[in-house]
Amino acid sequence: MPTNANPPTALSVKQRRFLAAYRETATITAAARDSGVDHKSHYRWRRECPAYAEAFERTQHIAADVLEDEARRRAVEGVRTIRYGRDGEPLIDPATGEPYVEVRYSDRLLMALLRANAPEKFGGRVMTIQQATRSPQVMLYQLPENYDAAGDDSRCTTAR
């Protein structure tokens, strides 16, 4: 395992370019397209270059944070959209004379964030229903102290 005294080998320009693109896009395909690096190179680097694999893992966490920030923005702050009429022209707000802007919020994203951050409170509820089943009768036999195989002196008790 590398230490600060022995830093891992430096990443190549292509590797750094791919990681920068992945940080922004959070998908291998888009990162490959945006960086001009073949996606197969990424998988080969992960297998063969421990420094790259470690850097990619760190970048995955950053990309996940970027996605979570965007989800929060859409859920809490909303997304502003211009409203259009049937004729395809923007609707005009009579008070301002500007195009009418509507803010849309995502309840689904908000619930996903709540479940992720407070699963004990907002996590999916699992309901378990137990049906009472009648246990079968069990016959317990108590053999007398002077039991012999030929006799039929055994006493039988019924238990539930």
Nearest CA among 109, 47, 20 for reference residue 72? 109
Rounded Cα–Cα distance for residues 104 and 82 (Å): 11
- Tell which phi-psi region holds residue 83, choosing left (phi > 0), alpha (psi between -120 and 50) or beta: beta
Which has the higher per-residue pLDDT, 153 or 49? 49
HSE-CB for 124 with a 13 A CA cutoff: 3
Report residue 120 as tokens: 């004990």
Predicted pLDDT of residue 7: 40
Residue 5, pLDDT > 60, answer no
Between 129 and 68, whose confidence is greater?
Answer: 68
pLDDT at 2 over 60: no
Q: Please tell me the distance from the alpha carbon of residue 49 to that of residue 90, in angstroms, as a whole number.
A: 53
pLDDT tens figures, 115-130: 888 888 887 665 566 6
Whether residue 76 is predicted with pLDDT greater than 50 in this model: the reply is yes
**Whole-prediction pTM value?**
0.56
pLDDT, position 20:
95
83 within 8 A of 47, measured Cβ to Cβ: no
SS3 for 94?
Answer: coil
Determine the pLDDT at residue 153.
46
The two three-digit tokens of residue 24, written as one number: 């922004």
**Per-residue pLDDT tens over the stretch 137-150:** 666 666 667 666 55
